[in-house]
Amino acid sequence: MTALLPNDFPPGPIREAYDTCLDLESRATTVSPPRTGPSVLICARFLGYMIREAPFTSGCKDLAQEVTSYKDDATLCSIAKLYIEVLVHCFKATKCRTPASSHHTPRSPSNEFKQDMIHLLKEAPRNHQTAKKMALDRDGYRCMISGKFDSASYIQLPSVQAAFEADDGSEFASTKAAHIIPEPISSRISWVHKGSDKRHHASSIWAVLNGCDSLSEELSGPGIHRLENIMTMDLSMHDWFSSLQIWLETTEVPNSYMPKSRYPALIRKFPAIITFTSTDNRLPLPSPRYIGIHAACARVVHLSGAGKYIDGVFRDLEEMRMLATDGTSGDVLSLALSRTSISMN
């Protein structure tokens, strides 16, 4: 958890909103804590870092207006809790699902396979399996972050075996087609009841981070599987990335990124800079915009302390066999319901 930085915004509504967050942070120990949910300190820092991390002015102004429209501490904490729950549903909760790892059966290169690829290149992938096939081909049958070769492809394809043998020190592992922006967004956060406060925040959090409300439209339905939103990852990498434990920072060099983590040990074996390349220029690389949004979410969760709070709720969910009768298990119950609703989508 990191204290909010001093207010360096120019005079205006954003500066006023950030001052509100700084004020709440300074009084966090004296404010009556909420019965359930994150602490007042986490709430203050979460809203503050949301303002700082919003990459577009338009989204930042919308959040600033919402923060300044509520003056009482309890409402500000409620807003922060709703935003945090959205991130839990969209990112953290994806680790609770168990999408099938890609023990596909790659076919050896042939005219038939090449014709299939030519056909697929004419339009964006319509489902996860097609996206997986195209991403594997684009990524050279390797995890884009760890560099590990896809084990199923190694078994089936002589070309992958040759590449593995030629790369001294290489490893292989089962891989997945990982979504940078996760699948729940494709159904407009369908776990939220229409017209509810949570639906409003589910929509507006993407507006804050994307600068407009177009992200859910862009990635709706089959659009979630577009190659710009897909990365081949080994299973451990997928778990860490999807739960915001690691993220990628953009650099001045196109398609080159710096791996970052809440836990440096997770990335200590990685190079300082990872550069993405495509084996075919018709297969687009991951979108820097999507990667930037993922990174912004990860930084907000990490810097505000919300990440540790969420991790604690997950641990309680795994360990608790019975809810407390005094209502203090509300966070665990909310998460359990979210897991159920996501698994049904």
- What are the CA-CA distances from residue 264 to residues 147, 288, 339 (Å)? 18, 23, 28
The pLDDT, as a whole number, for residue 310 is 76
Residue whose entry in the numeric block shows the structure tokens 């996501």? 342
Instruction: Indicate the length of the chain as a whole number.
Output: 345
**How far apart are alpha carbons 155 and 139 in whole angstroms?**
17
The pLDDT, as a whole number, for residue 197 is 52
Q: What is the DSSP letter of 186?
A: G
53-62, 65-74, 293-302: range with lowest mean pLDDT: 53-62
More confident site: 257 or 60: 257
**How far apart are alpha carbons 173 and 187 in whole angstroms?**
31
Is residue 212 predicted with pLDDT exceeding 70? no
Cross-strand pairs, 249? 258
The pLDDT, as a whole number, for residue 133 is 92
The pLDDT, as a whole number, for residue 223 is 87
**How far apart are alpha carbons 130 and 117 in whole angstroms?**
10
- 10 Å Cβ neighbour count for 206? 27
**How far apart are alpha carbons 20 and 82 in whole angstroms?**
18
Please name which of 36, 37, 52 lies closest in space to residue 2, comparing C-alpha atoms.
Answer: 52
Confidence grade of residue 237 (pLDDT, cut at 50, 70, 90): very high
In this structure, are residues 87 and 205 in contact, taking their beta carbons and an 8 Å threshold? Answer: yes
pTM: 0.80
3-17, 42-56, 252-266, 277-291: range with lowest mean pLDDT: 42-56
Is residue 175 predicted with pLDDT exceeding 60? yes
Is residue 289 predicted with pLDDT exceeding 60? yes
Highest mean pLDDT among 113-122, 174-183, 216-225: 174-183
